[in-house]
Every structure is written in structure tokens, then in C-alpha cells.
Amino acid sequence: MSEKALRDLNTIPGTERKIESSLTKVYVDNGNKNTEECQKKNCSSLVSPPSNGNQTVNPGIETGITEVEYIESENLNDLEDIDKSLKTLLAGLDSKDWVLVCEALNNVRRLSIFHKEAILNMLGDVITLVAKSLKNPRSTVCKTAIMTSADIFSAYNDLIIDSLDPLLVQLLLKSSQDKRFVCEAAERALVAMTTWISPILLLPKLQPYLKNKNPRIRAKASMCFCRSVPQLGAEGIKAYGIDKLIQTVAPQLSDQLPESREAARNLLLEIQNIYEKFHILAPAIVSEHSEMSSWENFCHSKLSPLSAQAVLRVTNIAREGLVS
């Protein structure tokens, strides 16, 4: 190595110096080896061992354009020393060294998958620090935190509802930004959230974001809301309140972004079917006109004239399509 190269190397911070390998990849999620270039020149990447059973790759850092790879949750290996990981977990998550933060985030993922009871007593603090990492401007840290959020949803379900808000707002923001690989990861985390957290608890958390000033956030929140409601089931939707749901969803029909409008249309059709299931005892002997009148009367009684008209336009078009 030339003297100039040595001098350049010595200018790199201690946490980012080359250790043993010149390989500059971060293994934190994807088994199918999705890659992305760092957003800045002279950025460095943490090298975590790939999921090959024994994880023998040595970490290494070097400057320049780097490729980043991630390990999917199902390919993560268990921790070798659980007690040590627990003792250093919060300090690692709160570190100023982004390499240590990524390592700690991946340990949260492993603990959530293999030893979820071990961090129950510190789960609130863990979630607060994961949310802090979601705000990190370094894409590697941010995406690792997003994947950690998804694993937390999968492991702890409703147990995190009281700590959900800081994760939710950041995931909505990240899913509506322009960095595609971050956006896609955040969308997957939001799907995990609506899959693993009970809708009866999640829907009130989502509702305020349906009126957010940012149209992209409104769209993502609307998609989550409309994905979560059907999980209530017919009886659950009736108990929650069909009137409350159409009053919440109807304004999304005129939203700025098509994602909001499409999600609202799909949910309103489902709500209509459930309404008619409970309010028409014998649909086979009831005329089509009277059936529609019942739904029409309900919409007009619960919505403003313009909103009712918009909802009926959507549901009538769908009905006409089925008849034809």
C-alpha cells in the first residue's frame, strides 16, 4: 500500500477503518440480494455476515461507492450470547456510531424472533430508540430500523400499541418519500403492522393521519386503514359501527392521490355488502330497487348530500357492473 493511501486511511474515523476485508456490503435483509448504492460518495457500510449457517464473513469497511445487501427475517441466525446482547442493547441503539446502531438493530430483530420475552421489560425503550433510527439520514440505518419495526410488529402484536405512535408516523413518512428502496421497505413494514395488530386498536391510531396535510401521508394512511378494517370481520364491522366507517372513508373518495380514492372505493363496497347482509333478511325475495333504496337511505341519513352522492355513485357503478 502506498504512503498516500496509508495517509488517506488514517483520516477515516476509527469506526469506519478497514478491519480485515475489503468487501463493502451490509447484510441486513434480503436473501435475494437486492442492492442499492449509497447516496453519497466516500460513504462506508457495515459488513455483517450473511446467512450461510455459520456466518464467518469478517467485517470490513472501505470508502467509495458501496453496494448494500440485507438479510431477510427468516434467514437471521440466533444470537450467540443473549445476556451480553441484552446488556449492551440500549447503549448500542443510542450510539453515535452508525455501525453499532445497525448491529444493535439487528440484535433487536434476532431477540424479537428467537427470544421475544427477553426484552419485554425494556420494549418501550427499544421502540423509542428504533423510532430514533428511523429518522437517521443514513439510509442503511433507516432501512435496518424499518425492517426492525416489521419484526417487532410480527413478534409483539398488540403489546406495542401504547408505543406505536412514534413508529407509525415515521413509517408513514418513509413510505411516502422518494428513495425507492426505503419507501418499499416502509410499505412492507406497514403491511406487517396491519397484519399483526388488531384493527380495533389500530384504526383509532390511523384515523388522524387520514386528514394529514401531506397528501402522500394521507394516501398511505388510507391504504392502511382500508386494509385493516376487513380484518374486523362482518360482526366486528357491525360492532365498530358502519356509520362511523362510511363517515371516515367517504372523504377519501375525493382525495388528491389515486391510492386514497381506490382504497376508499374498495372498502366502501365491502361495507355496503356487510350492511346489506345485516339489514336485508331475505335478499332473494327483495326487489333490486328496494335493496338499493335501503342502502341509499342509510347513506343519506349518515352523510352530507355530496358525500352520500359520491358513495352511492361508487356502489351503484359496482352493482351495475355485477348485473351486466
Q: Using the Cα atoms of residue 135, residue 137, residue 142 and residue 145 in order, give the sign of their dihedral.
A: negative
Mean pLDDT in residue range 181-204: 97
What digits encode the pLDDT tens for the residues 47-63?
Answer: 344 344 444 334 444 34
Residue 320, pLDDT > 50, answer yes
Higher local confidence (pLDDT), 134 or 71: 134
pLDDT digits (tens, 9 = 90+) for 242-266: 999 999 999 999 999 999 999 999 9
* Eight-state DSSP code of residue 58: P
What is the pLDDT, as a whole number, of residue 287?
A: 46
User: What is the pLDDT, as a whole number, of residue 67?
Assistant: 44
Cell of 299: 347513506
| CA 22 to mean position of chain CA atoms | 33
- The pLDDT score that the predictor gives to residue 70 is 82
CA–CA gap between residue 140 and residue 98 (Å, rounded): 9
Q: What is the pTM of this model?
A: 0.76
Residue 309 has pLDDT above 90, yes or no: yes
Mean pLDDT score of the chain, rounded to an integer? 80
Among the listed ranges 66-75, 190-199, 228-237, 288-297, which one has the minimum average pLDDT value? 288-297
pLDDT tens-digit readout, 266-281: 999 999 999 988 875 4
State residue 69's pLDDT score. Answer: 58
User: Over 60: is that where the pLDDT of 191 sits?
Assistant: yes
pLDDT at position 319, please? Answer: 65
pLDDT at residue 24, rounded to an integer: 34
pLDDT over threshold 60, residue 217: yes
Q: What is the dihedral of CA 262, 268, 274, 278, to 10 degrees?
A: -170
Structure confidence at residue 62 (pLDDT): 37
Identify the band that residue 316 occupies on the pLDDT scale cut at 50, 70 and 90: confident
What span, in angstroms and rounded, lies between the C-alpha atoms of 11 and 4? Answer: 11
Mean pLDDT of 111-117: 96
Q: Are 318 and 295 in contact (CB under 8 A)?
A: no
**pLDDT recorded at residue 294:** 85
Closest listed residue to residue 224, CA positions, set 256, 255, 257, 189: 189
Sorting pLDDT into bands at 50, 70 and 90, what band is 166? very high
Average pLDDT score over residue span 299-311: 95
- How far apart CA 251 and CA 265 sit, in angstroms, is 11
Q: What is the pLDDT averaged over residues 66-84?
A: 82
77-89: average pLDDT: 94
